[in-house]
Amino acid sequence: MGIYDDLGVRTIINAKGPSTRVSGGLLAPEVTKAMTEAAAHCVDMAELQAGASKVIAGITGAEAGIVTSGAAAGLLLGTAACMTGLEPGRMARLPDTTGMKNEVIMARSQRNFYDHAVRTTGARIVEVGLPDRVAGAGVRDAEGWEISDAIGPATAAVVYVASGSSRPALEEVVRAAHGKNVPVLVDAAGQLGPVSNLKKFIAAGADLVTFSGGKAIGGPQGSGILCGKRDLIMSAILQSLDLDIDWAQWSPPASLIDKDRLVGLPPHGIGRACKVGKETIVGLLVALQRFVAEQEETRRAVFLARVEKISNALSRLRNASVTVRDGMTPKLALIVNPTHAKTAMEICVALQNGTPSIHVDPSQAAGGILVINPSCMADADVAPLTQRVRELLG
Ligand SMILES: *Cc1c(COP(=O)(O)O)cnc(C)c1O
């Protein structure tokens, strides 16, 4: 707590999960140690990203990969790569898209706050399909033929946001896009969970996939992964590296950047603002290797034990009940009695503004439910959390 005390900043109990707003999760000591070690030496950043590429390729099955400052940065860099290819003139011009393909197709139901990162490049999003199923009566969403139909001479990419409810299936989108030589960029930021998902989207034919480093992987909060086709990754890294160097002096590692294929060196690209430091790159790689090595079942058991401890402590509340929701990340549903004077959102705000400050997941508050996610909590957080909930809900 020392450093936060010095800054006059209170620490919080994060029972919401790895959200950026509440600073993500807690780093394993091995990750922190690797970051400290990385900070003690200087390296060539292109060589470090080439080393990262080997690790990421091995784990994801992609041809190449880089560490980014987050999945949103992965969307930005991936979109830019699809628009510029390996042409330095185009890289220099973005976000002015004159002379290049500048449309990105997305299913309308998949639009979300993070697609601002796609539009940051100067690309225009073309929405496809009516998510009629959301209306209740309907069953349909965007379909493969609609994506194919929307592809034209200005289409740079199709962006697909992966989730359990995304439609159409990725395989169908890949078929439609590849049928017209258009790459597919998958936003899989929150799709881990299952370690197998690190390979799944590449195996389904995606050209680029981005993951958050600060969510389930347990890497630094400001980290992410972009992996995929070698040429696209070469373009993405060229648009994010610092290129303040003379062409004659520049000797990047050929495994990541093949200098012979470039007519010249672009100036700093549109991704230069998404800088990622050596400590972050090393921290992400160590976290990624731990995430893959650790048994899913071990991770789940730790979370389940924490949830059950909370559940037991809250089993006899006067104004709420609790249910354990088992799954990849077991969670606890705190169901506020509808007859209680305070709504779930009011309880959420009271938890947040009390001492200690506790953040829970409010996404189902409208239905009277607050969700407690154990994945970013320490064991020491359990007692103060349950005490505070008992104070508020009897
Ligand atoms: C979290 C998230 C992002 C952003 O990831 P960062 O690593 O925080 O940049 C993008 N897309 C989706 C769907 C997400 O859930």
Q: Residue 135: what pLDDT?
A: 82
Best residue for ligand 1 mutational test, from 23, 114, 223 (most atoms within 8 Å of Cβ): 114
Task: Return d(Cα 147, Cα 110) in angstroms, integer.
Answer: 13
Confidence of residue 1 (pLDDT cuts 50, 70, 90): low
Which pair of structure tokens corresponds to residue 199? 């390979």
Confidence of residue 136 (pLDDT cuts 50, 70, 90): confident
Of 293, 312, 341, which one is at a domain's C-terminal end?
293
Q: Kindly tell me if the per-residue pLDDT of 323 is higher than 90.
A: yes
Q: Residue 304: what pLDDT?
A: 96
Amino acid at the residue 350:
A
Residues lining ligand 1, CB < 6 A? 20, 70-72, 114, 161, 187, 189-190, 212, 214, 224
Residues 150 and 261 in one domain: yes
CA nearest to 325, candidates 334, 315, 333, 313? 333
List Cα–Cα distances, 266 to 67, 74, 232, 241, 274, in angstroms.
20, 20, 16, 10, 17
DSSP assignment of 25-48: ----HHHHHHHHHHHTS---HHHH
First-last CA distance in the chain:
30
Q: What is the CA(367)–ligand 1 centre distance, in A?
A: 25
Q: Residue 193: what pLDDT?
A: 81
The pTM for the full model equals 0.96
User: Which atom of ligand 1 has the smallest separation from the CA of 74?
Assistant: 9
Q: Kindly tell me if the per-residue pLDDT of 6 is higher than 70.
A: yes
Can you give the residue range of the structural domain that contains 384? 3-20+295-393
When mean pLDDT is compared across 127-141, 162-176, 224-238, 240-254, the lowest value belongs to 127-141
CA nearest to 173, candidates 217, 129, 139, 215? 129
Q: Going by C-beta distance under 8 Å and a sequence separation of 6 or more, which residues neighbour residue 309?
A: 382
Of 277, 293, 309, which one is at a domain's C-terminal end?
293
Torsions phi, psi for 14 (to 5 deg): -95, 95
Q: Kindly tell me if the per-residue pLDDT of 296 is higher than 90.
A: no
3-class secondary-structure state, position 209? strand
pLDDT tens profile 49-101: 999 999 999 999 999 999 999 999 999 999 999 999 999 999 999 999 999 99
Q: Kindly tell me if the per-residue pLDDT of 285 is higher than 80.
A: yes
Q: Kindly tell me if the per-residue pLDDT of 22 is higher than 90.
A: yes
State the Rg of the chain over Cα.
23
Amino acid at the residue 2:
G
Can you tell me the mean pLDDT for 172-199?
96
Can you tell me the mean pLDDT for 215-231?
97
Q: What percent of the chain has pLDDT over 90?
A: 94
Q: What is the CA(24)–ligand 1 centre distance, in A?
A: 11
Q: What is the CA(161)–ligand 1 centre distance, in A?
A: 10
Instruction: Find the helix packing angle between 71-84 and 230-238, rounded to 10°.
Output: 110
pLDDT tens profile 360-387: 999 999 999 999 999 999 999 999 999 9
Confidence of residue 137 (pLDDT cuts 50, 70, 90): confident
Q: What is the CA(75)–ligand 1 centre distance, in A?
A: 9
Average pLDDT of the chain, as a whole number = 96
Residues 225 and 211 in one domain: yes
Residues 199 and 320 in one domain: no
Which residue's CA lies nearest to atom 1 of ligand 1?
Answer: 189
Provide the residue count of the chain: 394
CATH code of 211's domain: 3.40.640.10
Residues 277 and 334 in one domain: no
Q: Is residue 57 part of a domain?
A: yes
Q: Is residue 25 part of a domain?
A: no
Q: Going by C-beta distance under 8 Å and a sequence separation of 6 or more, which residues neighbour residue 11?
A: 1, 4, 356
Task: Return d(Cα 284, Cα 354) in angstroms, integer.
Answer: 33
